[in-house]
Each structure stands twice: as structure tokens, then as C-alpha cells.
Amino acid sequence: MKTKVIFGLLAVVVVAGLVYMGQKPSTDSIKIGVISPLTGGAAYWGESALVGIRLAEQDLRLKGMDISVLIEDGQLDSKLALSAAQKLVDIDHVDAMYTEFNPAVVAVSSFLQDREMIQICNATPVSPLALSENFFKTYLDYEKSCEEVATVLKERGYKKIGILKMNLEHGDLCASGIERVFRTNVVIESYNAGMTDFRTSLTKLDAAGAEVIFHAAFQPETIASLKNMRELNMQHTFVGLAETMTPGIAEENSDVLEGAIVFGLPRVSPELLSRLESVAKDGALVDQNAAALAYLHITQLGEALNTCNKDTACVRRKLSEAPANKEMGFQGFKDRIAGFETLIQEWNEGAFVAI
């Protein structure tokens, strides 16, 4: 009898110690909500993200975690994203959110700002971070990346930059980075998302003396502007986002890509790429970075929620202390913003080559 009492007391002490250190593993099912574009112009990204999510779920379950990821289609539409977030939070009762792309992130962040819920925002805006200390941002730092590309352009002797600027926060951030380098030698033509005819804007930029057309946008707008530029016989250097030039799209548009420059996230390691390909189905792995980012952050969220027994403050601390990951160039979170190196490439004779 005394022996049983002693062991019982020891068990209580051990459990109490684990709770005190914030290290008690969760015994409840962990639910992570994801909002990503699964249809529409950015579906290639969402479909690739699903590959990373499947691999993350597989790895976390192998570690003994009872985890499920609930996925909703945001379609690059703020209203749809908001409805999806309301369902995931109020009906499905998810424990954390992973939200992708600008329109969705802004809408969902406004909805979540007064709730004690961790959200990793895979998008360009930094403004959502001001709404809640529980929000983290991943993907490129647009201001920094656009400044780095502008520096390369200046070193090549270009004097004046023309910008096609989408009326979303990422457009302002990128323009700010370019203006740091070229000062007043920048001309801007603004437009709303969904535009597909840029001939008037391109003609104005050309008339203003722009030598480079800089267009950081979604895939449909990027390809449309590049084709419009060549239709107008403009031989200007074109700069866009690497994520818009997925393998099939790049091959399909190789006739207008010569000399084009793209920038984006660093390359995924061969080891991680092989693992992602092993779970991909029906050619769904179109964008390696989409899959790798989803894998990284779903894994981080799952492990933190499990270790912290879903305690928000503890999860926030764990994410802030997340180690660097060489498999995809993640440098850790600083002030809740993920750090990545910028990969700059140029299309040369049928392939993108790092600059």
C-alpha cells in the first residue's frame, strides 16, 4: 500500500513539473486550419501546399501526435476566405491557422485579432502583425527582396525603372524597396488585381523612359503583362516573381522569357524535394516552395501545439524560438517575421540561371 502511495505521489510530481515547464505533451487531438487557393489563378500554389501538408501530417503522426489538418479554399477572395475562417474556427474548432495569400490573410487576420489563436500568414503583408501578437508572417520580405533585385539592376547600368503596381500591400512594399535604390528614377502605373490588359500602362511606362518593367504579381497578371510587352515590341528587361514561373508555364512562354529576371525563395534541398515527391499525386507538386513552406510551418505548429498542450503563449514562444531549417533556407522568425535569402535568377537559353 505504501509503495502504491509513493509511486502515485511521484507521478503527480512529475506531471506537475511538466505542466510548470510548459512541456506537457497534448493528449487531445490537434486541429490546424488551412486556407489556401485550391481553385482559380493560384490553384497551382494551393495544390502544391497540400503536398507539404500531407507530408507534415505523416511525419507528425509517426511521432505519435493525433493531428489533423482541415483545409478550405480561399480562391484569392477575401469574402470566401473569411467564410472559411469562420467555419474552421467556430464550427471545426481548430487550434491554429495557416493562411495563404494577401486577400485571405488580411480578411482572416481581422476576424482572428481578438481571439487567442496562433496564425502563420504565408503572404507579403506585414500589417496583420500589428493586429495580434499571435500572428506570424512567412514568405519573402518584399521590401528587402525588391531592394536587392533593384541593386542588381543598378549595377547592370539601368537608370530608370517602370513598375506595374498591384493595388495591394505587397505592391507598395516592393515599390518602396525599389525606390530606396533608384530614388526618383521610378515611374509607377497602378492597377487592381484581375487586370489582364496592360498595354496602355506599358505604353505609358515606355514613354516615361523606363528601361525595366518590374511586375511582382500573381501568375495571371504576370504572364499577361509579359505577353503584352512583347506584343508591343518592347524589349525591356522584365522582372517578376519566381513563383509565377512554374515549370509548365515557363516552358509554355519561353518565347517571351529571354532575358527575364525573377526573384523568390531559395531552392528546396534535394532531400526534402524527394520526400515531397514521394507523397505527391497526379503531378500536384508544381511549386516546390509552396509545398516546402506548408511542410515547414504545419510541422512547427503541430509540434508546438503538442509540446505546449495548446497553450497560446507557450506556442508563440516556441515559434519565436524555431531553429533555422537548411532544407528550404528558413532562417528563423525575427519579430514574428520569417527570414529567407532571396534567390535571383535570369532566363537564359531555355532555363533560369542564378545571378
34 near 70, Cβ under 8 Å?
Answer: yes
The DSSP bridge pattern shows strands 161-166 and 212-214 to be: parallel
96 near 33, Cβ under 8 Å?
Answer: yes
How many whole angstroms separate alpha carbon 193 and alpha carbon 196? 9
In this predicted structure, what is the pLDDT of residue 279? 93
| pLDDT per residue as tens digits for the range 246-289 | 878 888 988 889 899 999 999 999 999 999 999 998 777 999 99
Going from the first residue of the chain to its last (355 residues), give the mean pLDDT of each consecutive group of 10, the final group possibly shorter. Answer: 40 39 61 96 93 98 97 95 98 98 95 97 95 97 96 98 96 97 98 95 98 95 95 96 88 90 96 96 86 98 98 98 96 97 93 92
Q: For residue 70, give the nearest of 35, 39, 43 by alpha carbon.
A: 35
In this predicted structure, what is the pLDDT of residue 247? 79
In this predicted structure, what is the pLDDT of residue 248? 84
In sequence order, which residues have a C-beta less than 8 Å from that of residue 333 and are 6 or more positions away? 136, 319, 320, 322, 339
In this predicted structure, what is the pLDDT of residue 258? 87
In order of 228, 243, 257, the CA distances from 140 in angstroms are: 27, 11, 23
**142-264 placed in CATH 3.30.365.10:** no
How many whole angstroms separate alpha carbon 81 and alpha carbon 87? 10
In this predicted structure, what is the pLDDT of residue 27? 55
305 near 26, Cβ under 8 Å?
Answer: yes
Would 21-139+268-338 and 142-264 be classified into the same CATH topology? Answer: yes
Identify each DSSP E strand in the chain by its residue range: 30-36, 67-73, 96-100, 118-122, 135-138, 161-166, 186-191, 212-214, 237-241, 261-264, 333-334, 337-338, 343-347, 352-354
**Domain boundaries in the chain?**
21-139+268-338, 142-264
| pLDDT per residue as tens digits for the range 23-38 | 455 558 999 999 999 9
- In the chain, the amino acid numbered 201 is S
- Which CATH superfamily groups domain 21-139+268-338? Response regulator (3.40.50.2300)
